[in-house]
Structure 1
């Protein structure tokens, strides 16, 4: 049994010897890879198929009245309109996660923010996908000028937005009325962080070693930080 507590409670990198890796399906947004690897010395190799995902960012937007911004978007795989937080793929080469989050906030909600911090990091489905998600807290929001706004298309064209008190959003999560994983994790993390006034949250450009494609590099490498904040 592995015992850990306090600051010692942390997921850890545990690389295995990769024997082969190939793309078995090339998709429009992500691929499916098949890896053959040595799990332990002297044992037969294992073969695993998984979604090779670029990763994503999401944003809990908090206003001065402790309300969070929620977006209502159609998601075809589940056939539902979901209440979500602004989010998007890390699909721009070399773009730092915090800049991607600021871009998604502007594109999906026509908003900019003065203060950015990291709320939490997560894997969406680590048994079947390499998707890593970083969820930011954005405060000090203002509207993007009309001339600079993004033109939304497809499922994003008719998205509704609503400002909801944080405690009401958390209640919706606990009642099973909100299902999107980044919204669930982000709202609960925001509620937990609010208990001590959001002190101790990591800066927006904190390293993101858990992301498979960012290991060994600062999350802010190659791009500027939109802002710092506490």
Structure 2
């Protein structure tokens, strides 16, 4: 059986895998549709001996929070998501749609707004792209510990007004993922990353202010071309 306490499982003669920045020349870029939160963009991109046309969701990005209490329970919310016609289980999350807002500050705000919780210990759990073939949305998941209730409950509206909340053991969350009972990507990725990180004594967690090279371009800023 593999030793999960080790943090290096690659063959000795190969470097670790890592995504490589590779911005291809963009011949033209146009906004096809301007939405309330995100837009649709069409780029003509140089690739090889020719060009390709790609349309994608131009997204401001988001943060999510896996809040873990002293008993290794995860704070979960359940709310209606219209595109999938379901009430899905999630971890607190929100868009990076406030101009100039730091991602960590946004994560703290979301935890307070959706969970009436504050945390004294923050770290980066993982970063991911939600759908790199069709969207530039990047999400950073923070691990929040040292939890305490906020002083005043937050007044929730729209989908959040009907949220269900629950504390669930991390291992039970992993079971729900592996049995395909939950499918929200931030929840799935967050609980599996937390389980793996816990097995390694939380080694490898990045500081809460770690650089985020893959972050989506904020909506008010021009994307690099």
TM-score norm. by structure 2 comes to 0.89
Q: Structure 1 stretches of 5 or more lacking a match?
A: 215-230
Q: Show the counterpart of 2:7.
A: none
How far did 1:196 drift?
Answer: 2.2
Contact 2:129–2:136 at 8 Å: present in 1 too?
yes
SS class of match (2:44)? strand
Alignment of 1:1-80 (within 5 A): 8-40=16-48, 43-80=49-86
Q: Give the distance between the partners of 2:189 and 2:157, measured in 1 at CA.
A: 27
Report the alpha carbon displacement of residue 94 of structure 1 after superposing the two structures with TM: 1.0
The Cα shift of 1:132 comes to 0.2
Contact 2:63 2:93 in 1 (8 A): yes
Q: How many angstroms apart in 1 are the aligned matches of 2:216 and 2:61?
A: 9
Structure 1 residue ranges (4+ consecutive) displaced by more than 6 angstroms after TM superposition: 3-6
Tell me the TM-score normalized by structure 1: 0.87
Using a 3 Å threshold, how does the CA distance of structure 1 residues 5 and 191 change in structure 2: closer, same or farther? Answer: farther
Q: 1:6 to 1:58 in 2, by over 3 A?
A: farther
Post-superposition shift, 1:151?
A: 1.3
Match of 2:221? Answer: none
- Give deviations 1:81-120, integer Å, cap 9, x for gaps: 1010000000011111111100100011110000000010
Change (3 A) 1:6 1:203: farther
Match of 2:3 in 1: none
Q: How does 1:47-126 map to 2 (within 5 A)?
A: 47-126=53-132
1:210 aligned partner: 214
RMSD: 1.6
TM-aligned CA deviation for residue 150 of structure 1: 2.5
Q: Distance in 1 between matches of 2:182 and 2:13?
A: 30
Equivalent residue runs for 1:169-180 within 5 Å: 169-180=173-184
Which one of the candidate residues 199, 204, 207 is aligned to 1:200? 204
Equivalent residue, structure 2, for 1:220: none
Distance 1:23 1:205, change over 3 A: same
Distance 1:44 1:213 in 2: 27
In 2, the alpha carbon distance for the partners of 1:101 and 1:69 equals 14
Shift of 1:210: 1.4
Structure 1 residue 6: Cα displacement? 6.9
- How many aligned positions are there? 208
Seen in structure 2, the aligned counterparts of structure 1 residues 120 and 4 have a Cα distance that, compared at 3 Å, is: farther
| 1:7 Cα deviation from its structure 2 partner | 5.6
